[in-house]
Structure 1
């Protein structure tokens, strides 16, 4: 079958990547969609079961840092568009193993850029999915795309460094790049180290929601469908060489989030909610909030359409309907239980995560 477009998605088996791949495959049967993913702990083949047998979908298991593999793909598959989401994203682990974050997030991006530049087939778009964390934290200032980059942890520092690499290929070679910086994206199929599925997993295990520290942290939450629509719009109407914030006005304090989920999952009265909350030591260098403006993207016609009430309802229902979805994420499921129960409040899963997944998934907890 002849396809009118070939799209490469790196990290396409991760949370955001799998939603993007499914959207691409379903909306454009005339496009060939190639998913390059290393299938580590926070990725699941089950996320793509609905499209795995489709004629326009191809999966390649591999490391984005493998220059021989990446060069082969770019030189043989006539790639028109790249969505680069493959990254290590767990903030807490980035303090423990910063070199592995540098390897995947920076070197992986360098390998992909080099292959794209040298490929015989001319690339139409290289879309790099970054994070609002590159701006650093703010109490009062709201960041736009021209705000200075001041990352405050090894994860966001590697994402910022990768952005500079991406922009250098635009400045030097006019490689048609676009960068997106997103708020916290949530929804069905997100791995259980992120704050919403983490709280849901704890509650389903009849454990308390562990709140890291006592500072009033909050996050802006964007439902995954709205994020995917933003990526579509950037592909169709985005200006090459530009950066687009992908943000939402839905800012939820972490304490409020925990309380809402307790009431939804445990169906307890307000007077009993606090019995399901537990304060644990904070992680190093925690940012209180990441407020961003997204007028540039809105001028292209984008709006977040899924309300917080509807998005969190869909998310909670999915985790209730699929309690065993992540049961194969570790060879030893008891290891996950041990880590989720730790008083330190560390994230569910491997103590030293290593995966190629979604650029904007971050924050193990808050």
Structure 2
């Protein structure tokens, strides 16, 4: 038996995680590697600006972990990957996700998020993988002031990022409808915690404040978001891997909701150690809103609850851990200071993504 053949037989399952050097996926990769030593976890990432292999240092030398640098938008490479690595399960996280940038680079978002997903799901289907999990977003529902979204709610995306994710969902779902290929789609609330590139609102506000700079808020700041801690969403994906039914969509949501203004104020109080209203206001700047800014994305998550998952980490605990992590790890990315810079003044909004 050749060494390569022996290696293929050494693991019960071979899981491909795309975008595994990014925020959420890196947490998932670390958890899978640690919890399933009999599974080979293959991390495919092209190492874009928001990815960092430092997120994976804890497991980089583990026998059941493998990193491959590559692009989901290259069909020949992806086809070869499935042929050589004998993938059993796919968790597809890789995507362009920055909402603000999507207004200016809509074609790039469509290319990566739609075409890249089409390339990946096609290769997975041809390789007869046993489960394909597509990681989508609550933003496909569009904003709502009062409606709670369940998995059957219509998709009404309001920005190029959300539109690209909704379109990619359609490609993935079509493989279930046409071929009964075992796909599962997830839509999660805003996730926060360690490893997130500081272009998104929580790590950006934390990093700005830790550098004695002000939080910049789009528009009124009354937009609300549901925030879910990273370890909770990891448990959700592990649950979907084990219990998720083919052809189903699962909302991974939380009832914890906070306005962006309230978020800024809480972070200011925690980092600047002040409760004075005037001092808090000193650390906030309100800037022009982006072209669309959904009010809120409240989701019903009963289907996930029926699988045995519920969020566990309280906000106070999660945000404390997050603040501490960025104090020590802000420079995990190359040129990370760019994440804190505003767009050029010729453009109508700041580089702050509340998603």
| TM-score under structure 1 length normalisation | 0.91
- Post-superposition CA distance 1:149-208 (Å, at most 9, x none): 111111111100000100100111111100000000000111000000010111112111
Question: Within 2, Cα distance between the matches of 1:296 and 1:93?
Answer: 32
Larger CA deviation: 73-82 vs 2-11: 73-82
Superposition pairs for residues 125-140 of structure 1, below 5 Å?
A: 125-140=131-146
Structure 2 Cα separation of the partners of residues 340 and 154 of structure 1: 18
How big is the shift at 1:345?
5.4
Q: Describe the shift of the 1:154–1:118 C-alpha distance in structure 2 as closer, same or farther (beyond 3 A).
A: same
Q: CA separation in 1, counterparts of 2:307 and 2:276?
A: 42
2:57 counterpart residue number: 49
Q: Aligned-pair distance for 1:323?
A: 3.5
1:299 to 303, 306, 320: 306
Matched with 1:156 is 162
User: Does residue 30 of the first structure (1) align with residue 38 of the second (2)?
Assistant: yes
Whether 1:118 and 2:119 are equivalent positions in the alignment is no
Q: CA RMSD in A?
A: 1.6
Structure number with the bigger relative contact order (C-alpha 8 A, sep ≥ 6) is 1
CA contact (8 A) 1:83 1:126 kept: yes
CA contact (8 A) 2:213 2:283 kept: yes
The answer (yes or no) to whether the contact 1:202–1:340 under 8 Å persists in 2 is no
Per mean C-alpha deviation after superposition, the further-off stretch among 71-80 and 178-187 is: 71-80
Any stretches of 5+ residues in structure 2 without a counterpart?
Answer: 1-6
Does structure 2 conserve the Cα–Cα contact (< 8 Å) formed by 1:9 and 1:83?
yes
Q: Does 1:98 align with 2:106?
A: yes
CA distance in 2, matches of 1:26, 1:193: 29
Alignment of 1:1-366 (within 5 A): 1=7, 2-119=10-127, 122-214=128-220, 216-271=222-277, 272-326=279-333, 328-329=334-335, 333=337, 335-336=338-339, 338-339=341-342, 346-347=350-351, 364-365=353-354
Deviation at 1:233, TM superposition (A): 0.6
* 8 Å Cα contact 1:166/1:177 also seen in 2: yes
Task: Classify the secondary structure of the residue corresponding to 1:339.
Answer: coil
User: d(CA) in 1 for partners of 2:267 and 2:177?
Assistant: 46
Query: Quick one: distance in 2 between partners of 1:161 and 1:85?
Result: 15
Q: How far 1:340 sits from its partner (Å)?
A: 7.9
Instruction: Tell me, yes or no, if the aligned pair for 1:125 and 1:178 is still in contact at 8 Å.
Output: yes
SS of 2:58's equivalent?
coil
Q: Measure, in 2, the Cα distance between the counterparts of 1:179 and 1:93.
A: 24
Q: Is the 8 A contact 1:178 1:243 kept in 2?
A: yes
Q: Alignment partner of 1:306: what SS? A: coil
Work out the number of aligned pairs and report it.
345
Contact 1:98 1:154 (8 Å CA) reproduced: yes
Measured in 2, the distance between the counterparts of 1:14 and 1:73 equals 20
Once the two structures are TM-superposed, the CA of residue 325 in structure 1 deviates from its matched residue by 2.5
Larger helix proportion of the pair? 2
CA offsets per residue over residues 228-253 of structure 1, 9 Å max, x none? 10001111111110000000000011
